[in-house]
Amino acid sequence: MFDRENKGGVNFNEFTGVWKYITDWQNVFRTYDRDNSGMIDKNELKQALTGFGYRLSDQFYDTLIRKFDRQGRGQVAFDDFIQCCVVLQRLTDVFRRYDTDQDGWIQVSYEQYLCMVFSIV
Amino acid sequence: MGDPGGGEGCPHGEPPAVLPPHSQQCSASGPAARSVSSRHAVPFYGADLWAEQPRSPLPIPIPTTPLGSEHHPDPNSRHHPLPGAIPHPSGAPQGVDPEAFSWFQAVDADRSGYISVKELKQALLNSNWSAFNDETCLLMINMFDRSRSGRMDVYGFSALLRFIQQWKNLFQQYDRDQSGSISFSELQQAFSQMGYNLSPQFSQLLLSRYAQRSSNPSIQLDRFIHICMQLQSLTEAFREKDTGMVGNVRLGYEDFLTMVMTRML
């Protein structure tokens, strides 16, 4: 994300961007980790994302936890939380670009769909 | 899973009204995609990899069951590598290639019986001797780690090596000038031979994303594997939605999110 030149690493200037980014997210995480467990459970995740403005189904939160819960505890650790939010944000951004009438639906060809996903992973 | 994207009414989920933090971050653009939407007169988005005879060996199928799980070594066997135990010095466990076994032992520096992403990185090399990138190593661990612990045992490792070797053979086939990496034209050829019908703009997009910046960008083995696996996986997901095989789908927001997230390697 911060490696603007695809070097496979960040230089000092790019690193300061990383640092700020992480501390910002840490603050967000702390806000929603209500029980201070260091982990975010499904309900806390729901609150966090709803707070950001997402309106997602309960089923989808199950999907998120399954996907980002790398420790297999049914909860999401800080770094996984960041990843979850970043991925969600990027997917949403790209979806929005194709959803020209903003009705929550897109009509895409196979290649458009591939381009959408490959542009963010 | 529910509505294949053609239903009426409100879609599941809504994109946020207020953008989350850091929304001003730049994301890669996708303008190239729009121009190719009407490229194909006949809606045809890729050869029928499964319906007709492939012109070249099929891309290696992504394992659907955790590899290594079919091996259930006899716990009484002296070859059984119990978790935490030092693997038996005199021979590979049953079903494990001896070369893979000795390689595993060399990589498993702390003799835990498992290798981590970090250790795996040391084992996998591109042709220019650079280590496989983290993303691909993580992908490999996830695919071949049956315990979901983020690490791999000797069976998974052995299966992984076979898997990579198959990809390596394909890679070498497509690397026509034997440069050790795959250029734009070679990538186009590779896709075509694998049965994909993709535009040059798409190959260009991949190169800009995955190749190191240089006057002649090209793709190393690790990223080539990653790309091909993603392509396979995403194509499967698309096909599930495009039941009419028209090469076009209508997707709701949450549909899209789920499709990509559950398939993202």
- Domains along chain B with CATH numbers: 43-71+94-171 (1.10.238.10), 180-263 (1.10.238.10)
Judge whether B159 and B66 are in contact, CB under 8 Å: no
Question: What is the identity of the amino acid at A107?
Answer: Q
Q: What is the mean pLDDT of each run of 10 residues along chain B (265 residues)?
A: 40 45 34 32 32 40 46 41 46 81 85 86 77 82 74 87 89 92 94 92 91 84 90 89 92 94 76
Q: Inform me whether the C-beta atom of residue A119 falls under 8 Å from chain B C-beta atoms.
A: yes
Bigger pLDDT: B92 vs A38 = A38
Higher-confidence position of B183 and A23: B183
What is the model's pTM? 0.66
* Cβ under 8 Å to B: A residues 51-80: 52-57, 60, 63-64, 67, 70, 72
Long-range contacts of A72-78 (CB under 8 A, 24+ apart): A72/B148, A72/B149, A73/A39, A74/A41, A74/A42, A75/A37, A75/A39, A75/A40, A75/A41, A75/A42, A76/A39, A76/A40, A76/A41, A76/A45, A77/A38, A77/A39, A77/A40, A78/A25, A78/A26, A78/A29, A78/A38
Distances, alpha carbon B103 to alpha carbons A99, B188, B196, in Å: 50, 34, 35
Please tell me the predicted confidence (pLDDT) of residue B122: 79
B143 touches A: beta carbon within 8 Å: no
CA–CA distance, A92 with A52 (Å, rounded to integer): 12
Q: Residue A8 and residue B212: Cβ atoms within 8 Å?
A: yes
- pLDDT of amino acid B148: 66
pLDDT-based confidence at residue A119 (cuts at 50, 70, 90): confident
Q: Tell me what pLDDT residue A121 has.
A: 65
Q: Which residues contact B219 (CB under 8 A, 6 or more apart)?
A: B181, B182, B187, B206, B207, B210, B211, B227
Tokens at residue A101, please?
């009438």
Q: Helices marked H in B65-133 — which ranges?
A: 98-107, 117-123
Alpha carbon of residue B156 to chain centroid: 16
- Report residue A81's pLDDT band, with 50, 70 and 90 as the boundaries: confident
Cβ of B12 and A57 within 8 Å? yes
Q: Is the pLDDT of residue A79 over 90?
A: no
Question: Residue B249: its chain A contacts at CB < 8 A?
Answer: 107-108, 113
List, in sequence order, every beta strand (DSSP E) within chain A.
39-40, 76-77, 105-109
DSSP A58: H
Identify which of A24, A52, A111 has the shortest CB distance to residue B33.
A111
The pLDDT value recorded for residue B89 is 53
Q: A108 to chain B: which residues are within 8 Å by CB?
A: 248-249, 251
Name the amino acid, one letter, at B164.
I
pLDDT at position B58 = 45
Q: What is the CA radius of gyration of chain A?
A: 16
- According to CATH, what is the number of the domain A33-119? 1.10.238.10
Residues A53-68 have a mean pLDDT of: 91
Q: Where are the domains of chain A?
A: 33-119
Give how far Cα B151 sits from Cα of B113, B139, B148, Å. Answer: 10, 11, 7
For A58, which residue in chain B has the nearest alpha carbon?
A: B13
Q: Would you state the torsion angle of the CA atoms of residues B11, A120, B203, B132, taken in this order, to the nearest 10 degrees?
A: -130
- How much is the ipTM here? 0.84
Decide which of A94 and B129 is more confident. Answer: A94
Q: Which residue has the higher pLDDT, B120 or A101?
A: A101
pLDDT for the residue numbered A31: 86
